[in-house]
Amino acid sequence: MLKLIGFITSICLIILIFLRVPQESVGLSSFTSKSDFLGSSPSSVERSLNILTTFGILIYFGIAIQLNLSNI
């Protein structure tokens, strides 16, 4: 069960990292200006992605440590 949660977390992190586009790129800012899918402004979308990415990394590290300790 823990391996499945770790796998899902890693896939979600990959998706979140691909959503993070550099500021000078037009990708995220033009996408948010055309549709209200990710939020109201690019800065709030970037902040939300930062929080989600940080939270996902912490969960992933916790699961990785737990799996490593269970293998000992």
Span 33-66, pLDDT tens digits? 544 555 556 677 778 888 888 999 999 999 999 9
Closest CA to 5 of 56, 72, 71, 48: 56
Does the pTM surpass 0.85? The reply is: no
Please state the domain count of the chain.
Answer: 1
Domain hosting 48: range is: 2-70
> Which residue do the tokens 């823990």 mark?
2
CA separation, residue 57 to residues 19, 27, 33, 54, 67 (Å): 15, 24, 29, 5, 15
